[in-house]
């Protein structure tokens, strides 16, 4: 339970600063080029983090990883309010706080019980914290400047230390600070060692997971990251994205626990819901209906809980490094195809550009079927080997 509770402040604060770098660079007088650069730095940090933290978590002290994440999150949020430090701060906020997530995941994996059900509880609880963070942030930016808001989030990061101390029974601010420094030194030593592990596994099932998450994320890059643009252009109110995201977050958090019990089969349910959601999205564009758009966010949130559980369970069951690589590939595909989708929308319009994303998403069921077939044959081989051992 400690590892789940340790995630709550992180998810709440992360929901607040997720949109902050791009909004701040605009408030400092930046243009679309500046926004492109800041987003590239942000996604590079997000891409790099799972590759490294997932491998480091197999050898590290998980409590040190978690305290390091909160300490660097506070530092990054203080730095980001200064225009001269915004690029460095953006990378810090994208990269270092993810040590909290991977530290908690590795700690969770060690505990007794069904892995899929434990993941379901983790994602459900942290998803609610994320949703709450979104709605609070929406109201906060109405009353405070973005620089003030970043400092408030930094203060919340610092105030998280007593909470984390209480959870892990490590009382004392100096002890927590010492643990953060120890975590940073551990990571530095590991980073310059040669024991990082291979990025791509030779296991066929793992390669299919990588392929599936890449194709799925291409569809997300074309559609999901362009939703704020859609809302601004068609419905004329960019702030609606906070409300829509809140609806989606609550929907996904409500079903994570259920999805966790389904293990590999959760992808099929998520796929059906995703295709239904995309149908609602295309209809909302065609009819310019806000109601249909909110329904899309609701159904898409439901689908994400099942799809996320599949990717988490299938990859984490093999190892933290497989899960980390899968997440990194997802972020890379989303980052690349969100840029491409901008040109698709420019030349084809929202409806036709998103339709391409829907067709790509539809094709993922073929990859999943191949993965399912390989899983079944792999399971038969294990049963046959156990029978041979029993005979002898």
Query: What is the DSSP secondary-structure string of 208-253?
Result: HHHHHHHHHHHHHHHHGGGHHHHIIIIIS-TTHHHHHHHHHHHHHH
- Pull the structure tokens for residue 187: 């990571």
Residue-level pLDDT at 377:
59
Q: What percent of the chain has pLDDT over 70?
A: 83
Residue-level pLDDT at 366:
93
In 3D space, the residue among 56, 147, 153, 53 whose CA is nearest the CA of residue 95 turns out to be: 53
Residue-level pLDDT at 212:
92
Contacts of 102 (CB under 8 A, 6+ apart): 50, 53, 54, 56, 57, 65, 320, 324
Our measurement of the distance from residue 169's CA atom to the centroid of its chain's CA atoms, rounded to an integer in Å, reads 28
Q: Is the pLDDT of residue 309 over 80?
A: yes
Question: Which H or E run includes 303?
Answer: helix 290-316
User: How far apart (Å, rounded) are the C-alpha atoms in residues 315 and 326?
Assistant: 7
3-class SS at 19?
coil
Q: Domains (ranges, CATH) in the chain?
A: 1-196 (1.20.1250.20), 198-384 (1.20.1250.20)
Residue-level pLDDT at 223:
87
Residue-level pLDDT at 380:
40
Residue-level pLDDT at 285:
92
Output the CA angle 298-134-264, nearest 5 degrees.
50
- What's the average model confidence in pLDDT over 292-320? 89
User: How far apart (Å, rounded) are the C-alpha atoms in residues 255 and 306?
Assistant: 8
Q: What percent of the chain has pLDDT over 90?
A: 21
User: How far apart (Å, rounded) are the C-alpha atoms in residues 81 and 148?
Assistant: 8
- What's the average model confidence in pLDDT over 259-271? 88
Output the CA angle 69-75-79, nearest 5 degrees.
140
Residue-level pLDDT at 347:
86
Contacts of 283 (CB under 8 A, 6+ apart): 289, 292
Contacts of 152 (CB under 8 A, 6+ apart): 140, 144
Average model confidence (pLDDT) across the chain: 80
User: How far apart (Å, rounded) are the C-alpha atoms in residues 56 and 4?
Assistant: 19
Residue-level pLDDT at 215:
93
Q: Is the pLDDT of residue 195 over 50?
A: yes
Torsion angles phi and psi, residue 138, rounded to 5:
-60, -45
In eight-state DSSP terms, residue 82 is S
- Pull the structure tokens for residue 237: 């109110």
Contacts of 339 (CB under 8 A, 6+ apart): none
Which pLDDT band holds residue 48 (cuts at 50, 70, 90)? Answer: confident
**Burial zone of 90 (CB within 10 Å; 0-12 exposed, 13-18 middle, 19+ buried):** buried
Q: Is the pLDDT of residue 268 over 80?
A: yes
Q: Is the pLDDT of residue 199 over 60?
A: no
- What's the average model confidence in pLDDT over 192-218? 72
Tens of pLDDT, residue by residue over 105-164, are 877 777 777 777 778 878 888 888 888 888 888 888 888 888 899 999 999 998 888 787
Residue-level pLDDT at 189:
64
Which pLDDT band holds residue 383 (cuts at 50, 70, 90)? Answer: very low
Which pLDDT band holds residue 78 (cuts at 50, 70, 90)? Answer: very high
Tens of pLDDT, residue by residue over 85-102, are 989 999 999 898 988 888
User: How far apart (Å, rounded) are the C-alpha atoms in residues 54 and 277?
Assistant: 32
Q: Is the pLDDT of residue 170 over 70?
A: no
């Amino acid at each position: 339970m400690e590892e789940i509770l340790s995630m709550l402040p992180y998810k709440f604060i992360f929901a607040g600063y997720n949109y902050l770098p791009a909004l701040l660079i605009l408030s400092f007088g930046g243009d679309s080029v500046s926004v492109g650069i800041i987003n590239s730095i942000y996604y590079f940090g997000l891409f790099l983090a799972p590759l490294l933290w997932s491998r480091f978590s197999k050898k590290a002290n998980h409590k040190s990883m978690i305290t390091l994440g909160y300490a660097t999150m506070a530092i990054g949020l203080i730095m980001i309010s200064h225009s001269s430090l915004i690029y460095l701060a953006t990378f810090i906020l994208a990269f270092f706080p993810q040590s909290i997530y991977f530290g908690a995941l590795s700690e969770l994996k060690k505990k007794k019980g069904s892995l899929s059900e434990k993941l379901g509880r983790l994602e459900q609880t942290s998803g609610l914290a994320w949703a709450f963070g979104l709605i609070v942030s929406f109201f906060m930016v109405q009353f405070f400047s973005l620089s003030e808001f970043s400092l408030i989030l930094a203060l919340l990061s610092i105030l998280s230390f007593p909470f984390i101390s209480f959870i892990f029974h490590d009382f004392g601010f100096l002890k927590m600070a010492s643990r953060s420094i120890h975590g940073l030194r551990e990571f530095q030593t590991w980073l310059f060692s040669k024991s990082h592990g291979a990025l791509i596994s030779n296991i066929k099932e793992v390669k299919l997971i990588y392929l599936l998450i890449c194709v799925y994320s291409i569809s997300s890059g074309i559609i999901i990251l362009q939703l704020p643009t859609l809302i601004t252009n068609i419905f004329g109110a960019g702030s609606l994205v906070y409300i829509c995201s809140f609806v989606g977050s609550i929907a996904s958090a409500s079903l994570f626990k259920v999805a966790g019990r389904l293990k590999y089969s959760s992808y099929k349910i998520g796929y059906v819901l995703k295709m239904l959601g995309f149908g609602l999205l295309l209809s909302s564009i065609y009819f310019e209906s806000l109601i249909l758009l909110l329904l899309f966010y609701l159904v898409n949130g439901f689908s994400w809980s099942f799809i996320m559980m599949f990717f988490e369970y299938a990859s984490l069951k093999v190892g933290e490094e497989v899960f980390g690589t899968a997440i990194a590939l997802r972020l890379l595909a989303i980052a690349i195809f969100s840029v491409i989708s901008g040109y698709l929308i420019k030349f084809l319009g929202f409806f036709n550009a998103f339709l391409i994303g829907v067709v790509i998403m539809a094709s993922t069921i073929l990859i999943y079927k191949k993965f399912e077939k390989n899983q079944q044959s792999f399971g038969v081989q294990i049963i046959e080997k156990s029978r041979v051992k029993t005979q002898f």
